[in-house]
Amino acid sequence: MDAIILAAGYATRLYPLTENTPKPLLNVAGKPIIEHIIKKLNRIDLINKIYIVTNDKFEHYFKKWLDNFDAEKPIEIINDGTKSNQDRLGAIGDINHAINLKNLDNDIIVIAGDNLFELSLLDVANFFKKRKSNVIVLHDVKDIELAKHYGIVEVDNDTIINFEEKPISPKSTLASTGIYLFPRKTIFLIKKYIDQGNNPDKTGSFIEWLHKRDVVYSYVSDKKWYDIGSIDQLEKANKYYKQK
């Protein structure tokens, strides 16, 4: 298994904090967000290598960070070649870029680089091994109004039957946490999705397309989860992790 951390966004909603610092390198409780994620990934023995996909603007920031980071697993920084929010490849575009550039041919775990979560990725990986199919990690936000701000999923017996990005009328309160596990066979489908000209920006758009072609299982976590999309969320996460 290989891991892909998506870190090529420009995080304009967090300006001025992210004007000259990529969001995954913002500190939470004394260390960058991405280090919290990597700590979770390190517990999965199956992972051979971690790829961090960033952009031309922030590549040198990640390389400087990596030079000073004591990594347990091999880590490689990938530059997707974009220079601004206007020409970004999008989440699926970046996954596809990493797959093509590095000829990835293993199962993959994909994690959004602005994610902070308490769940065990090892537990999720074991769930994935048993199901032998696609898995998306969900969190029940338990609030219809709050659900309008996330990618919302409907499930039937642990199987995804619908995915809608920021719905006006949410059909559930199960939100995507930006953690996905794809078996090797799905790499072909990611390429097919891109080649057909589908929306490369949101991973949720791919899940909506994928579940009609292959089984996508849900793993629902009730552990603490922060989607760092605003300064308010960053401050809440910082306060929580400092208390820990």
**pLDDT score for 181:** 97
Give the least confident one: 28-37, 45-54, 89-98, 227-236. Answer: 227-236
Is pLDDT of 222 > 80? yes
Mean pLDDT of 8-17: 82
**pLDDT score for 165:** 84
**pLDDT score for 229:** 82
**pLDDT score for 44:** 95
Residues 6+ apart with CB under 8 A from 146: 173
The DSSP result for 171-191, as a single string, is S--EEEEEEEEE-TTHHHHHH
**pLDDT score for 49:** 97
Contact 94, 87 (CB under 8 A): no
Is pLDDT of 244 > 80? no
The DSSP result for 109-147, as a single string, is EEEETTEEE-S-HHHHHHHHHHHTSEEEEEEE---HHHH
**pLDDT score for 216:** 96
**pLDDT score for 204:** 87
Contact 28, 241 (CB under 8 A): yes
**pLDDT score for 79:** 96
Domains (ranges, CATH) in the chain?
2-243 (3.90.550.10)
At residue 210, φ and ψ (nearest 5 deg) are -70, -40
Looking at every residue in the chain, the average pLDDT score rounds to 92
- pLDDT tens-digit series, residues 153-197: 999 989 999 888 888 998 899 999 999 999 999 999 999 999 999
Percent of the chain with pLDDT over 90: 73
Q: Could you tell me the two tokens for 244? A: 């820990």
Is pLDDT of 105 > 90? yes
**pLDDT score for 14:** 79
Q: Where are the beta strands (DSSP E) in the chain?
A: 2-6, 27-28, 31-32, 49-54, 75-79, 108-112, 115-117, 134-140, 151-156, 159-165, 174-182, 216-221, 225-227
Mean pLDDT of 87-97: 93
